[in-house]
Structure 1
Amino acid sequence: MSMEMQLEHMPHSCALQMQAMYTTLKKAEKKAADYLINHAKGVNRLSIQEFALEAGCSEATVVRLSKKLGYEGFPELKRDFAAYENSSEIHEYGNILDNDAPLDVMRKVFEASVQGLVDTLNMLDHDSYTRALQSLIGSQRILFCGLGDAGAVAMEAHLRFLRIGVMSLHSADPDTQLILASQLQKHDTVVAISHSGRSRQIMDVVKVAKDRGATVILLTNFPVSPLSKKSDIILQTAVFSKNITGEIMSKRITALCIIESLYINFMLHAKGSFAETLRVANETIAINKL
């Protein structure tokens, strides 16, 4: 099973840290990390000696990895994994209990979205964000693509940029997305949105766009994924759900906030050149308001 599928078996903070730093680990640390990822459900029953033996690394490496993941040492890591494994929630929000009062459920849903935004803000790579913004600024055409509720984020992004006169492209139909991708060129950009990074249809769009020379920006929660390998720039959200395909609102809210910030920065860079286009667009659609 792939890394991104196994991360769902890890505690929230640990999964976020693992996603962020996995590619920077040294060879021995990666051995320990791989074992932890692939045996997350049983790690709390192992001694540090047993873990090191099974992972093929030293005990010092296990301690070093534990600290990089935010724990004081291996015992603290084990306790966190034990508590997570013994939790009995059956829905996508890990902190919501079956006997929670309605208002408590409401509060926890809001808190999950706030936490996702805070975690994403803290984890988002500044260099990648800057490169993504520069790619959008230098693009002749921008194709936004996503499926399902990710498609709703793509549509919102498309409407934002279309409203100011940017040559923005979008379609909810996978075949049309492929057609649009086939018409892209070197100075165009694709913004692909996939929480899991495993959407087959979006992968097809990305492959076609890459073949045409376009730059691919990926918004995803899983930087180690098939789509990530095909993308030029990765903007990582940091939303935790018990299942990689879990339909929790916070995973789209974080993507929308990234899109919104890129749009505002795009406008600021243009120094008012889109102001008149935006004003005319706003006045035109005002006829639909009562």
Structure 2
Amino acid sequence: MEQSDAIALVRRALPGLTTSETRVAEAILGDPGHVAGLAITDLAVRCGTSVSTVARFAQALGYSGYRELRAQISRSVTLAQAQRDRFGLESTAIDPQDTVAVVAAKIGAQQVDAIERTARMVDQDAIDVVAAAVVAARRIELLGQGASSLTAQDLQQKLARIGLVASHAADPHLALTSVSLCTEADVVIAFSHSGETPETLRTVQVAKDAGAVVVAVTNEPASPLIEEVDIVLLTHADESPFRMAAMSSRIAQLALIDILFVRVVQRAGGSVATPLHLTHDAIFRR
């Protein structure tokens, strides 16, 4: 298995685990540094389960076995500590009593982590498939509510600069109307950090029924949105418990969209030169 964030994989797997597997996951999430030093028998005893359960748990995450899982947990712990050290922090969790300097450092650490993990774990094949579909599409529809609407608008603006006209309706009813007219020649990209936004789910279902190629950009691989789409692009961001608005999730989405956009430009080739020149002149002409 390619290098990945083992702790994030464990956290994301929680909703679908058995009771015994959940105890293993909670032990890892509760003290990953300690678990990274445990033999499989020691972890099984600590969790009140069997060695075979721990082994199956590791394999369910995509690892060859517990040894590989343990190595990747150790790697994740090391990377997280390096990130905290980089910003001079003991923890990146925001506390109401933090000073401005500490808040700035923690936000910086969280957002850098979200960008780096999203870039490191990006599904390269999926990016290329989506880029090809976008270049060939008759119509491009972008969906998103709240902070995800901002990401949709960002991609809409980027595509416009290279002559690819994309639509984004922040109003759910207008979005439904628009995607209901899609065909197999069209691409719909839905943004939802949780993968559970009701308005987005409903619109995606209509787009799917219309025959469009539907893409999800989400942080949750076990979400309802995943079940409704053709292609999934995952972000990797952890929001602070002291969350007042989407922060790391928005940054991760924007990073992923930048990766996708560059691949679209690469695939479109020389055809984007004229639109780029014209749109640049239109904006910067004095």
Deviation at 1:206, TM superposition (A): 0.4
1:245 Cα shift? Answer: 7.8
C-alpha distance 50-132 of structure 1, shift in aligned 2 (>3 A): same
Partners of 1:73 and 1:285 in 2: CA distance = 48
Confirm whether residue 187 of structure 1 aligns to residue 179 of structure 2: no
Superposed, 1:76-91 pairs within 5 Å as: none
State the one-letter code of the partner of 1:127: D
Gap regions ≥5 residues in structure 2 = 33-42, 59-65, 75-90
- Counterpart secondary structure, 1:192: strand
- The aligned residue for residue 219 of structure 1 is 217
TM-score by length of 1: 0.73
Alignment of 1:8-47 (within 5 A): 15-18=7-10, 32-34=20-22
Task: Tell me the residue number matched to 1:48.
Answer: 44
Alignment match, 2:137: 139
Aligned counterpart, 1:267: 265
8 Å CA contact 1:165, 1:277 repeated in 2 = yes
1:89-117: CA deviation from partner (whole Å, max 9, x where unpaired) = xxxx9523445432122112111111111
The answer as to 2:105 corresponding to 1:113 is no
Q: CA 1:108–1:70 in structure 2 vs 1: closer, same or farther (change >3 Å)?
A: farther
In the other structure, the counterpart of 2:147 is 149
Residue 274 of structure 1 aligns to a residue in which SS? helix
Residues 72 and 32 of structure 1: is their aligned pair in 2 closer, same or farther, counting only changes over 3 Å? farther
* Alignment size in residue pairs: 250
Deviation at 1:36, TM superposition (A): 5.0
- Asked if residue 204 in structure 1 is aligned to residue 202 in structure 2, the reply is yes
- Cα distance per residue 1:66-124 (max 9 Å; x no partner): 647844699x9xxxxxxxxxxxxxxxx95234454321221121111111111112222
Question: 1:281: how far off?
Answer: 1.8
1:216 aligned counterpart, secondary structure? strand
C-alpha separation in 1, matches of 2:216 and 2:272: 26
Could you tell me how far apart the structure 2 residues matched to 1:275 and 1:209 are? Answer: 31
Query: 2:12–2:222: 8 Å Cα contact kept in structure 1?
Result: no
Match of residue 241 from structure 1: 239
- Deviation track 1:140-189 (CA, whole Å, cap 9, x = no partner) reads 11111100111011011111112222131111111111111011110111
Question: Is residue 140–residue 167 contact of structure 1 (8 Å, CA) maintained in 2?
Answer: no
Provide the TM-score with structure 2 as the length reference: 0.74
Question: What secondary structure does 1:143 align onto?
Answer: strand
